[in-house]
A and B are shown apart, each in its own frame.
Chain A
Amino acid sequence: MRLDLRVGIDVGGTNTDAVVLDENNRILARTKQATTSDVRSGMQNALTYVIDALGTEAQRIGRVMLGTTHATNAILERRSLGRVAAIRLGAPASLSLEPMESWPDDLRDAVCVDTCILEGGHYVDGRRISPLDEDGLRNFLSSVAKTADAIAITSIFSPTSPQDEERARQIVSEVLGNNMAVTLSHEIGSVGLLERENATILNAALFGVIGQVISATQDVIAGAGLVVEMLLAQNDGTLMALDFARRFPILTIGSGPANSLRGAAFLTGLTNSIVVDVGGTSTDFGVLINGYPRESAAAVEIGGVRTNFRMPDLLSIAIGGGTIVSGTAAQPVVGPLSVGHRLTSDALISGGATPTLTDALVAEGRLQLGNHAVPQIELERLQSALHSATESIADAIDQITLGNALLPLIAVGGGSLLIPHDIAGVSHVLHPENGDIANAIGAAIAWVSGHWEGVVAHGDEFNEAITNGRAIACRRAIEAGADPQIVEVVDQTETPLSYLNSPTVRLVIKAAGPLRHL
């Protein structure tokens, strides 16, 4: 039996989509199911649907790629989060604000075991702030031994001087054993202490969630009688192996939009363009550069907490297919509320009483949907609401393109017809077939990546170290399933470190390649 089929699943806020592709990337089955509050049954529904649609061919499924909002939801709903002991190294600096002090109370209550600020850390130029307080660290770790699920360690200026975090990790394993989960801040974010620390703590709080996602998905897969490899989508548009995902669960946050962008690239063959993903409640604009999402350096707020880890650069507006229209014909009010799931019961075209933008599209003749006509009396208001929504979309396009009107626009997502063909600010508009499941397709066609990072001194061994690092990153991508013939280094970031003696850089290398045949 050839295992030449793969399933892409995208669990979004409103819908869970699944698609099955063969090795020539032909779509063999697809579905769009409602996301359920337990997430798992929605995923099960979607997977069961496509497996049934394939019939006996389902035995050819060799891989399942999952993009999911589990991690985001866990933070937003303060559910299933692990208990974290947060350690900051850098005293006497930074004592004025404790770790998690600025967090919303309920999130801190859900996550925080205890915090401490110990001596350690570095100045911007690599000088020590103070010697690492190893005794203090051991004492603190002993005090949380029974209560903490994970440890988050953040040292001042660790993005350029990571050694105290590395040493602290050794001490954690000495005191609490090798099984205690640890997150180091320099592996998560950049300069900006509180934002990096917040992202580090959230990552540590998500170890349990990602474990549950992985085992639940494996159960669903096993329940369907399949034996497959599983990969998780991350927010740079590539797939990660399960062991990497278990270390960096926060990287699943933002994987949905990244998948949409990659799916849009695949469906159109375009590598540089604007992508708009129109959902039920909101619309995300992103930019594809050489086939991958443009990334943002700005701080991102998650669940009321400011963070600074890598994310796709997105512009979101509160307009979607389910957006509720109110106000008058002269002054329509468009959103921000949406009927969401209830489009099929509450919208005018479904016989409901709530006018939505989908009703406006049907009334304009741009979409055929529903079994009820839009009442005559609503037509004028819906028309002007659609006009106003189009203006907001054009404004957003202007902002995300930075005024460069030469790029094409790819419209995907369930509500993509909200984007007219003649919208201003782009060279032309594409509505690719199957664009409504672009995110699941993006997960299914994604390349798999592997990483290597390390600190390398300039000098004779610099090039050799880089060559080694690149080889390790490629090997890890291959171990995760990449085709050894095609895998290549796709990103190499050098951050100069501030050591006083010899010039040194922190090197992060990412290799990626398409999945090899099973």
Chain B
Amino acid sequence: MLIIVLIGGILMIAQYFLNIPFLNSLYKKILDWSIVISIFALVIAIRSLLARQFKAIRERTEHIVLPLTTIVSFSAVVIIGLIWGVGEGGFVDTVYKKFLVPMQAAIFSLLAFYIASASYRAFRAKNFSSIVLLAAASIVIIGRIPLGDALADMTTVTLKSGPFALIDFPRWAEWILNVPNVGIKRAFAFGITIGIVFTSLKVIFGIERGYLK
């Protein structure tokens, strides 16, 4: 197994740094192969999901309607999709547009309420760091709502160089997002990349073997 990992890893590193046509075509092939292998893993995952529902029905750990809902909805979508296809305008497409998209948006928008309550607890100006965090968040929030534009319009004065807004939240928000925020994201990207590269090398050279257990 370690040999498979070592050879696969070294070939894929080599194809990136050495421009050898054989390795490049092998890379494309292995990308497709990985998708095919992952599909079988997905089948196992779905089997696990359904087995869990059947177990819940058997052992009555929750009301029977709940696991049945998952089984019936999954089966209905799969059977109808396999019979009539998943093309534009079909049943599955309608389910996606009319059901999945608004439902997922509703679940995510639920977080708005929880973020509001979390921010009440988190945004207490207890020390200098939290004041900076509070100020940055407030500027970005006000800068992205109509109030920010209205304040900028109200406080605009005309200088020789042209109009200048004294309280310009949208511009400040843009600056925060594009300058210090990008700098920090870059620094984090460096750190994350170094971590990924060294973990990958540890996996390839057999130092990290947790997956074998």
Q: Do A and B come from one complex?
A: no
B interface residue numbers (CB < 8 A to A): none
A interface residue numbers (CB < 8 A to B): none
